[in-house]
Amino acid sequence: MADSILSYITLAMILFSIGFLGVISRKNIFIVYMSIELMLNSVNLIFVSMGRYYESIQPQVIALMIIAIAAAEAAVFLSLIVVMYRRKRTLNSDLFTSLSQKDSNE
């Protein structure tokens, strides 16, 4: 059992790192979004496996809540992407710079 929790956590860490690499290396905003979801779910995986390991119900509840919130967040995020695409006609996240100091007078 102790070995199996370690392998679950290792898997979660690998998934998290992949997600993070995706966030900082990809420009397409959809892929960035998917990477974020991947990171979120890697954390979820830790919760679930911890719940099994300690035979406790609380981590399972938190995992369920994260899934629910992720669903709501997905709706917001996707609609934001749609709005931004309409503005800029692009999905390249490097071009969304309207909050930077240089371009603030845009």
Give least dist CB 102 to another protein, A: 8
Give least dist CB 55 to another protein, A: 27
**Which residues would be at the binding site for another protein (CB under 8 A)?**
20, 23-25, 27, 32, 93-94, 96-103
Query: Which of these, 10, 9, 32, lies nearest to 19 by C-alpha position?
Result: 32
Task: Give the nearer residue to another protein in terms of CB position, either 6 or 61.
Answer: 6
Instruction: Give me the helices (H) in the chain, please.
Output: 2-25, 29-54, 58-88
Q: How far apart are CA 106 and CA 29, in angstroms?
A: 22
Task: Give the nearer residue to another protein in terms of CB position, either 35 or 41.
Answer: 35
